[in-house]
C-alpha cells in the first residue's frame, strides 16, 4: 500500500491489544499527544515503559507505569549490566513480560532504537512513531544512521504525522511499505468559546527554539501594528533556550506593552488560552542545524479544534493541517511581510475568521479527534501484528545498538556510582578524556555529597565543586558524540546550584561565594528555564541583602521571565514597588 496515502482499512477489531509504550520521559507538557495515544487506541490496554523520570503526573494520568528514574543505586547497577550485555533494560523487559504485551510502540526515533532489542526479547512487533527532530537532525550523525538502519530492518511499522515526514523517512532508508500516516490527536470535546471582539488576541504557542520562528512572528506582529488601526495584544506561551533573545527582540521592536510572555502552559489550561485567541500565528522554519517540524506543530490542530484561524508557513506538513484559504492563511517561511498582511486581513474581517474557524473545527472533529485517531492507531497496530517476522539484528554491544542505548548505559553507571564501569565504557568507545574525566568526577562528588550532605561550610567538597566546574568549562562541547553530554553538563550545574543554595544560608564569605556561583549559573549554556530562573531569584535575594534594590528588582524580573509563576519573585517585586 502506498505510504503517502496513509489510508488503512480493516475489519473491526475484536480482541483487546496490550501495548507497551516506550518513552524517554513521561511526560513533558509539549508531548501531550503521546498521552492521547496511550489512552486512545481503540480496544487496547497500555503499559508505559518510561526510561527516564516521572513528570507532570497529574496532567497525564495512566493506569500502568514503570519508571527507570525510580531505581535506587543498587538497582541501577543491575540495570546497567543488562544494558551493557544485551542492550536492553532488564526492568522493562520483566515488566513487559508480566504485562503480556502484544507489541511495543516506541515514541520518537531514539526510543525506536532502544525498542529493537526489547521487542526482539519479547518476541513481539515494534511500532515506532517519528515526530520531527529525530528525522531532520539526528541522521546527520553517522552513529544515528547506523542505529536507524538496524531499526528499519527490524521494525514492523513506522508512523509519521504527515506525507512530508513520511517521505523524509523513506529517504533515510525506511521501507515505504511499512510507513503509515498517523495524525496527532487533540481534544475536540469543548465547544469553541471565541475571543472577545473588543480586544483581539494574537496567540503564539510553542517552545522558544529557532525552528518555531517566534522571532519572525514577533516581527510580523510589529509590522502589522504599524499598518492597522485596530488594537490587539499578543500572548506568547512557551519556554525554551531562546527566551533571552526573544525578550530583547520584543524590546527592540517596541512591543513591551503589548506582548506578554506567560511561560509554559499546562494542557489543562490550553483550552482557556485558545478561548481568548482571535488568531494563532506559527512561523515555523528550518533551523540552522537542520532541525525542522518534520510534521506539523500539534498546536495547529489544537487551534483547529477550538475554531481559531491560523497564520502559518508552508513548512513540512503544515499545509496538510492548515488548508490555505479554507482553515487558515499560509505564507512562505521567513515572509514577515506576508504574515503581517495575512494577520491584518484576519483581524479586520470577522466573517473570514468565523468561516475559516468553523471549517477548521469541522475538519478537526472528523480527522484529529481522539476517537478518529484511536481507530486509525488500532489499524496500524493490527497491520504490524499481521506483518511477517522481521530478521534478528542482535547488537554485539551498546555501541552497535546506537547512541540512545549507550547513553542509558552511561546514565545507569553514573547513578550507581560505578566509576570503574564508567571508565570501561568510555575506554571501549574512545571517548575524549576531558568528557570522561568530567563524568567520573561528577559521580565521585555526588557520592561524597550523599555521604556528607552539609555543603555550607566550604572545605574539600566546595573545592571539588570548583574543580568540576572548571573541568566542565574546559571541555569543548562540540558536534557528534559530545552532544550527548549536554545532560552531563546540566547535571554539573544542577549540583553547583545545590552548593550555592546551601552556601547562601552561611556566613558572609559563604554568601559571597554563592553570589559568584549563581552569577555564573544565570548565564551558563544549556540550563532549563527552572534552573536559570532559580539562579536569578537567588541573585535577587542576595542583591537585596546587600542593599542593592535596583539590581534586586532587575534580577527578580529576569526570574519571572523564565518562571512566570514564581510567586516569591513576584512578591519581592511587589514589596519593593510598594516601598518605593
* Domain residue ranges of the chain, discontinuous segments joined by +: 17-183+378-385, 201-368, 400-579
Q: Are 456 and 427 in contact (CB under 8 A)?
A: no
Domain 17-183+378-385 CATH (choose: 3.90.420.10, 3.40.50.2000, 2.40.37.10, 3.40.50.970): 3.40.50.2000
For cell 503589548, the residue is 258
Class of domain 400-579: mainly alpha
Q: Which of 390, 187, 398, 212 is nearest to 303 (CA)?
A: 187
Q: Measuring CA to CA, which residue among 284, 278, 286, 283 is closest to residue 303?
A: 278
| Cα separation, 309 vs 303, whole angstroms | 7
Report the C-alpha gap between 68 and 75 in whole angstroms: 9
- Residue whose cell numbers read 556566613: 507
Q: Look at residue 191 in the predicted model and tell me its pLDDT.
A: 54
In angstroms, the Cα distances linking 268 to 56, 190, 477, 512 are 11, 12, 37, 42
CA gap 466, 474 in Å, rounded: 12
- Give how far the C-alpha of residue 85 lies from the chain's centroid of Cα atoms, to the nearest Å: 30
Closest CA to 122 of 94, 148, 152: 94
Look at residue 334 in the predicted model and tell me its pLDDT: 94
Range list of β-strands (E), 384-478: none
Kind plus residue range of the DSSP H or E element containing 310: strand 310-313
pTM of the model: 0.80
Please determine whether the domains at 201-368 and 400-579 fall in the same fold group of CATH. no
What does the alpha-carbon distance between residue 255 and residue 238 come to, in Å, rounded to a whole number?
A: 18
pLDDT of residue 519: 93
Task: Quote the CA–CA distance of 531 and 491 in Å, as a whole number.
Answer: 11
Q: Cβ(205)–Cβ(324) under 8 Å?
A: no
User: Are the CB atoms for 276 and 201 separated by under 8 Å?
Assistant: yes
Per-residue pLDDT in tens (0 to 9) along the chain, 580 residues: 344 344 444 445 468 999 999 999 999 888 989 999 999 888 899 999 999 989 888 889 999 999 999 999 899 999 999 898 888 999 999 999 999 999 999 999 999 999 999 999 999 999 999 998 899 888 988 889 999 999 999 999 999 999 999 999 999 999 999 999 999 998 876 655 555 556 899 999 999 999 999 999 999 999 999 988 888 999 999 988 888 889 989 999 999 999 999 988 888 788 899 999 999 999 999 988 788 898 899 999 999 999 999 999 999 999 999 999 999 999 999 999 999 999 999 999 999 999 999 999 999 999 999 999 999 999 999 999 998 666 565 555 555 678 899 889 888 988 888 888 888 888 877 777 777 788 888 888 877 777 766 665 557 788 888 888 888 877 754 443 455 567 778 888 888 998 899 888 888 888 899 999 999 988 887 787 888 889 999 999 999 899 888 888 888 888 887 777 677 777 777 776 666 5
User: Does 201-368 carry CATH code 3.40.50.300?
Assistant: no
The number of beta carbons lying within 10 Å of the beta carbon of residue 55 is 16
| Count of CB atoms situated within 10 Å of the CB of 545 | 13
Q: Render 100-119 in DSSP notation, one character per residue.
A: T-SEEEEESHHHHHHHHHHH
Q: Which set of grid coordinates corresponds to residue 235?
A: 500572548
Amino acid at each position: 500500500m502506498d505510504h503517502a496515502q496513509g489510508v488503512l482499512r480493516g475489519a473491526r477489531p475484536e480482541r483487546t491489544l496490550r501495548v507497551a509504550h516506550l518513552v524517554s520521559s513521561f511526560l513533558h507538557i509539549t508531548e501531550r499527544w503521546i498521552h492521547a495515544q496511550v489512552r486512545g487506541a481503540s480496544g487496547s490496554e497500555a503499559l508505559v515503559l518510561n526510561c527516564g523520570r516521572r513528570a507532570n503526573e497529574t496532567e497525564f494520568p495512566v493506569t500502568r507505569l514503570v519508571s527507570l528514574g525510580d531505581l535506587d543505586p543498587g538497582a541501577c547497577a543491575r540495570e546497567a549490566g543488562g544494558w551493557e550485555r544485551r542492550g536492553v533494560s532488564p526492568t522493562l523487559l520483566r515488566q513487559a513480560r508480566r504485562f503480556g504485551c502484544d507489541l511495543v510502540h516506541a515514541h520518537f526515533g531514539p526510543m525506536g532504537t532502544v525498542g529493537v532489542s526489547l521487542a526482539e526479547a519479547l518476541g513481539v512487533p515494534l511500532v515506532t512513531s517519528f515526530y520531527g527532530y529525530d528525522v531532520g537532525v539526528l541522521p546527520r550523525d553517522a552513529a544515528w544512521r547506523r542505529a536507524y538502519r538496524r531499526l528499519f530492518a527490524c521494525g514492523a511499522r513506522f508512523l509519521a504525522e504527515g506525507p512530508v515526514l513520511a517521505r523524509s523517512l523513506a529517504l533515510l532508508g525506511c521501507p515505504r511499505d511499512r510507513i503509515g500516516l498517523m495524525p496527532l490527536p487533540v481534544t475536540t470535546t469543548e465547544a469553541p468559546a471565541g475571543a472577545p471582539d473588543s480586544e483581539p488576541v494574537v496567540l503564539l504557542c510553542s517552545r522558544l527554539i529557532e525552528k518555531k520562528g517566534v522571532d519572525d512572528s514577533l516581527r510580523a506582529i510589529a509590522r502589522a501594528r504599524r499598518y492597522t488601526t485596530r488594537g490587539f495584544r499578543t500572548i506568547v506561551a512557551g519556554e525554551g533556550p531562546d527566551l533571552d533573545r526573544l525578550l530583547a527582540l520584543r524590546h527592540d521592536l517596541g512591543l513591551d506593552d503589548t506582548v506578554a510572555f506567560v511561560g509554559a502552559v499546562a494542557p489543562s489550561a490550553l483550552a482557556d488560552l485558545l478561548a481568548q485567541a482571535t488568531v494563532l500565528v506559527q512561523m515555523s522554519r528550518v533551523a540552522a542545524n537542520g532541525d525542522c517540524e518534520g510534521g506539523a506543530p500539534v498546536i495547529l490542530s489544537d487551534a483547529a479544534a477550538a475554531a481559531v484561524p491560523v497564520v502559518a508557513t508552508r513548512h513540512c506538513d503544515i499545509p496538510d493541517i492548515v488548508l490555505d484559504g479554507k482553515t487558515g492563511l499560509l505564507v512562505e517561511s521567513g515572509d514577515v511581510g506576508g504574515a503581517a498582511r495575512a494577520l491584518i486581513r484576519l483581524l479586520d474581517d470577522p466573517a473570514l475568521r468565523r468561516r475559516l474557524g468553523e471549517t477548521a473545527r469541522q475538519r478537526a472533529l472528523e480527522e484529529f479527534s481522539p476517537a478518529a485517531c484511536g481507530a486509525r492507531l488500532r489499524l496500524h497496530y493490527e497491520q504490524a501484528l499481521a506483518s511477517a517476522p522481521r530478521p534478528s539484528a542482535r547488537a554485539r554491544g551498546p555501541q552497535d545498538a546506537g547512541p540512545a542505548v549507550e547513553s542509558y548505559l552511561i546514565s545507569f553507571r553514573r547513578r550507581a556510582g560505578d566509576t570503574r564501569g564508567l571508565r570501561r565504557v568510555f575506554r571501549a568507545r574512545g571517548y575524549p578524556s576531558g568528557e570522561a574525566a568530567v563524568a567520573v568526577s561528577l559521580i565521585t562528588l555526588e557520592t561524597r555529597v550523599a555521604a556528607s550532605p552539609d555543603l555550607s561550610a566550604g572545605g574539600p567538597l566546595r573545592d571539588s565543586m570548583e574543580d568540576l566546574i572548571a573541568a566542565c568549562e574546559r571541555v569543548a562541547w562540540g558536534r557528534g558524540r559530545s552532544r550527548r553530554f549536554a545532560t552531563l553538563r546540566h547535571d554539573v550545574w544542577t549540583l553547583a546550584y545545590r552548593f550555592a543554595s546551601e552556601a547562601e544560608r552561611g556566613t558572609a564569605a559563604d554568601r559571597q561565594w554563592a553570589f559568584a556561583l549563581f552569577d555564573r549559573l544565570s548565564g551558563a549554556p544549556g540550563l532549563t528555564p527552572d534552573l536559570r530562573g532559580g539562579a536569578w531569584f537567588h541573585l535577587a535575594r542576595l542583591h537585596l541583602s546587600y542593599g542593592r534594590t535596583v539590581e534586586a528588582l532587575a534580577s527578580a524580573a529576569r526570574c519571572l521571565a523564565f518562571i512566570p509563576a514564581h510567586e516569591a519573585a513576584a512578591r519581592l517585586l511587589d514589596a519593593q514597588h510598594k516601598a518605593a
